[in-house]
Chain A
Amino acid sequence: MRKTRFRSFPVLMITIAFFAGLIYFIINLAAHSAEWASMPYNGHLSDSGGLETAGMITDRNGVVLAKTENGKRIYNEDEDIRRACLHVVGDNSVNISTAIQTIYRSELSGYNFVLGLGTPDFIKEGADIKLTIDSEVQKAAYLALGDYKGAVMVYNYKTGEIICMVSTPTYDPENVPEDIETNDAYEGAYINRAISAAYPPGSTFKLITASAALEKDKNYANREYDCIGYTEIGGKAINCYSVSGHIDMTGAITDSCNAYFAELTVDLGKDIMQKQAEKMGFNSSWRFDGIETVNSTYDISKADENSFAWSGVGQYTVLESPVNMAIRSSAIANGGKSVTPKLITEISSVFGGAFNHDDSSPSKTMMSRETADTIADMMDYTVENEYGKGYFSKYLDVCAKTGTAEVSDDGLAHAWVTGFTKDEDCPLAFAVVVEHGNSGYQVAIPIAGATLDAVAESFGVN
């Protein structure tokens, strides 16, 4: 019978494999349970589930944006702040997928590994979450956007703290409109356009083309060009808004000369353009605080010569999210290194549960310090000579580049502006997009300016 026992070892192997599988499951469960429990499919947390005992959400100054009283979720008393913060904070539903109240629903509702969502109500206390945003700045940006659809993103390019992230159209989380699904005015209201939408970047992309050239050879900055208002590439014309005449790269940025950058793009070639775009955040997404942004796309593999030339001025099929644009401006401000944004200052839980959302994208080297400084100077020059420092901001020294991106659906062009401030105690990178705003200079800059001034006032830099 000894033989029989010896031959029973495969059975032992099965049992060991079974136990190993159980251990694997436990490890998996321990590692992912917070993430799994906060999935939008979780029936315990759907609709307003889990908010009955949820903790508080506050802004950087401790202003309460959302809290629960007597089992009911209430938001800031100012309706404008409620609307301005909707896409960051979220509402009672889980419809806004990137909102804090969606992603952190389980933490807010008092989730912890030991008791799961089974903590009895009488001892249950949800975690409080402190955000980096400033509710007053949010309100200023929201009011500046007015009836436009669009997004404003402003963050500190030294610390990564997002000071302002507003998306419109928005609605009041305390009175969700009944026609939200059918009314065109609320089209895409569940989307945070700052991080989940991508638009043609238009002339703001010229900063990328310029950095591609300077990375290849810094003498490109001095290359001179005679603009006659258009150029012909691949048998088709590429038009400018004006005739710039004799210009160098700084002039081409200031005047936003399409012909200059179209020629430059073709000169650099697809390889260099593709690589530089990808170094500057295209064809991948950003992650911070459990939020994943939409991809910005630059794909020229099937482009003919004319289309490729257009891609260098941010047209063709190029799409970029406001968040990516703000991040690449942070790299220009920071000597070439990008800073990944963050939205949460701290999560304080009674159980001190470790919420493992610390999977932020790493900082990227987007260009050399020399290139970054050169482009920063060009943006500085552009504001000084083209837009006017005073027109931009009352308090801050802003460097920027606008964009007016043609859209395929015959509507008015999208308006963009992106840039950064040079102020040591108020170091901000920003991007503003206004759908069908038609003019970066006339529409986007005032919105950006109003937001930046609100930050300056809040920071006491005035």
Chain B
Amino acid sequence: MEHIAEIASFVIRIAEPLLALTAIIMAFYSLRAGRRDEHALITLENEADHVIYSVLYWENSIGRSRSSDIRLSDPTVSRDHAVLLRRNDGWFVTDTGSKSGVFVNGEKTVGRHQVAVGDTITCGTTSLVLRRASDTVSTEQRHEKKMFPQGVILSFVTLYTILLILQAVINMGNTDALIPGVVFIAVIWIYYGISRAAFKRLNFELESVAFFLSGTGIILAASHDSRQAYMQLGAMVLGLCIYSFLLWFIEIPDRVMKWNVAISILTLLLLASTLVIGKSVNGAKNWIIIGPLSVQPSEFAKIAYIFVGASTLDVLQTKKSLAAFITVSAASVGCLVLMSDFGTAVIFFVTFLIIAFMRSGDIKTVVLAITAAVLGVLTVLSVKPYIAERFEAWGHVWDYADVAGGYQQVRSLIYSASGGLFGVGLSKGCLQYVFASENDLVFCLMCEEIGCIIALLCALAIGGLMLYARAVTTRSRSTFYSIAACSAGGLLVFQAALNIFGVTDILPLTGVTLPFVSYGGTSMAACWGMLAFIKSADERTYARHKPKQKKISVRTRQKQKYDEDFVEI
């Protein structure tokens, strides 16, 4: 009888990774199954030889260049001649600085020009007639892949969280973790209800993954310090609001492009204001303290920064210059270095590389930027040599086991090893007493208390977000979403890498948070902001809801949504 609690806790610890694994597999399987097949949205017919070009994407480049989406082998066509793009109110063609111009029904176009079925678009000596896809090519769907009902995926996440809460309650012998846990589950389902009823959303795979990560972090916090758990919960609710706002705001990419300059200024203001009125905490001057609240504006600057970088295809093809973006990036990284927040500075820099390359495809810019960064680092090190000392334990932390440079990493490794596959149990660990265990060392804290399987699942889930963002680059509604999603995903993965490999001594310890899991309100809220970019790349997010449809499967409804939503022209 005396062992009942112990047995229960042990069984729960083994069941948790199974549930977590199931939830994650379901979510990503569902994301993959829900991805649109690449079939023609409309077609273009060459008037001369009647060759049919399938228009597969929402934004399509037309030109002589080998990498054009619609490639015309006509010497009078420019390499990047025009962009044919789809918006909610129909199809448009934009001349992107071609030599011979773009003509619609014989009229020369200026700027964005709407086109309809039957219209002739002339580039150089080639004339293309816009046709309905169903009239020219087979649009038959491939075999339907089965998707999991969204409620079931969320239920698995909920069940997993319930087990975590139970374990915390059993191990701690009190109910400290109960209330934050129950509130967390309530938030999930309230969000689900509101999103379905008010915003008519049908897909929650990405949210499920983020809830899995956030929930793990919140219950972990609750089993050590319930005050932190409430903080984290509040931050998640704020994050959900930011997430919903961003999803609304970026629905129309052209609107975002109009706000671009304002957001650039906002990014710099956020960082500059921190530099001026920021307070220094643990060596980095990246906090602004207002009354009882302390926030890290650099976390929000990450979101704004991605806005600045991402862009629609027609803008990209006309305005090739990266100058403005490079200026904003350099200023941002500069501010962060001045704050001594090197972790975030590196994250900004890597995000810059991703965006710069996705916009321009220019290896030269990337090489130049890396060279500049290396020179910058060397300059900083020669001016402030003590910065290098921070990282001197890297690679041989065992020699620094009892001094500042390696103390945390050594404990993290020892306690990760002590946890085995299923952990020693929530609140039963020793790493919790080491400084910054709930944020910088959280990966190893998970390894110790809930086992390395769940810790690895968290890492894999973050990597999965990135893989998904990349998998939908051609399926999203604009290159704006593709670039934003890839850079947001890249940022999350890179940050996770700095966190996980920093504490396990594979990289130097820079003190960044593990996305969604680490304790830190601003970080939590900002991660949900990042998720909005990935979500926006999912074509299904903005599909119109058809209220009159009754009694049809979710799958069919989704299919109809983005097929029928396409305005008849």
Contacts and interface: CB of A to CB of B under 8 A. Distances in A.
B410 A39 contact: yes
Contacts of A17: 497
Interface stretch (A114-122, A127-135, A189-197, A329-337): A114-122
B289 interface: no
A408 interface: no
A433 to B, nearest CB: 30
A223 interface: no
A79 B3 CA distance: 36
B482 A114 contact: no
Contact of B358 (A4, A35, A117): A4
A115 B422 contact: yes
Interface stretch (A20-28, A267-275, A306-314, A412-420): A20-28
Most buried by B among A1, A26, A114, A122: A1
Nearest to A12: B470
A44 B430 contact: yes
B239 interface: no
Contacts of B410: 39, 41
A32 B410 CA distance: 13
A251 to B, nearest CB: 50
B419 interface: yes
Contact of B419 (A28, A116, A121): A116
A114 B420 contact: yes
Given A41-B410, A44-B424, A21 B418 contact: no
Contacts of A22: 456, 459-460, 463, 500
Interface in B386-430: 401-402, 410-411, 413-425, 428, 430
Contact of A117 (B58, B67, B354, B420): B420
B111 interface: no
Contacts of B3: 120-122
A5 B467 CA distance: 12
Interface string B262-290: 00000000000000000000000000000
Interface string A1-44: 11111111011101101110110111011001111110101111
Contacts of A7: 357-358, 361
A12 to B, nearest CB: 6
A118 B422 contact: yes
Contact of B414 (A12, A37, A112): A37
A252 to B, nearest CB: 45
B59 A1 contact: yes
A53 to B, nearest CB: 12
Given A2-B474, A18-B463, A29 B416 contact: yes
Nearest to A123: B10
A130 B250 CA distance: 69
Contacts of A118: 13, 418-420, 422-425, 428, 451
Interface residues of B, number: 70
A37 B6 CA distance: 22
Given A5-B473, A15-B466, A41-B411, A116 B420 contact: yes
Contact of A120 (B6, B67, B414, B469): B6
Contacts of A32: 413, 417
Contacts of B68: 3
A18 B464 CA distance: 11
Contacts of A25: 500-501, 504, 506
A43 B489 contact: no
B479 interface: yes
A225 interface: no
Interface in B476-535: 476, 479, 482-483, 486-487, 489-490, 493-494, 496-497, 500-501, 504, 506
Contacts of A113: 420-421
B295 interface: no
A301 B470 CA distance: 63
B418 A42 contact: yes
Contacts of A114: 420-422
B173 to A, nearest CB: 16
B439 to A, nearest CB: 19
B350 A14 contact: yes
A299 to B, nearest CB: 23
B71 to A, nearest CB: 10
Contact of B501 (A15, A21, A29, A121): A21
A116 B430 contact: no
B354 A11 contact: yes
A116 B424 contact: yes
Nearest to A24: B506
A1 B423 contact: no
A370 B493 CA distance: 66
A4 B479 contact: yes
Contacts of B425: 118
Nearest to A32: B417
Most buried by A among B420, B425, B466, B476: B420
B429 to A, nearest CB: 8
Contacts of A121: 3, 6
Nearest to A34: B417
A102 B420 CA distance: 20
Contacts of B452: 26, 29
A1 B7 contact: no
B416 A117 contact: no
Interface in B119-150: none
Contact of A5 (B353, B414, B418, B474): B474
B470 A8 contact: yes
Nearest to B61: A3
A114 B476 CA distance: 43
Contact of B420 (A2, A28, A115): A115
A22 B467 CA distance: 16
Interface in A321-373: none
B414 A36 contact: yes
B345 to A, nearest CB: 17
Contact of A116 (B418, B493, B497): B418
Nearest to B480: A4
A201 B399 CA distance: 31
Interface string A378-399: 0000000000000000000000
Most buried by A among B466, B469, B483: B466
A32 B416 CA distance: 11
Interface in B315-344: none
Contacts of A39: 401, 410, 414
A8 B534 CA distance: 14
Contacts of A21: 497, 500-501, 506
A2 to B, nearest CB: 5
Contacts of A119: 420
B505 to A, nearest CB: 9
Contacts of B469: 11
Interface string A273-290: 000000000000000000
B421 A115 contact: yes
Given A1-B61, A42-B430, 7 more contacts: A8-B482, A12-B467, A14-B494, A18-B493, A18-B497, A36-B414, A44-B430
Closest 7 CB pairs of A and B: A116-B420, A43-B430, A33-B417, A118-B424, A36-B417, A5-B473, A1-B57
14 contacts: A1-B59, A1-B479, A4-B313, A7-B357, A18-B463, A18-B493, A21-B500, A36-B417, A41-B402, A115-B421, A117-B419, A118-B418, A118-B419, A122-B6
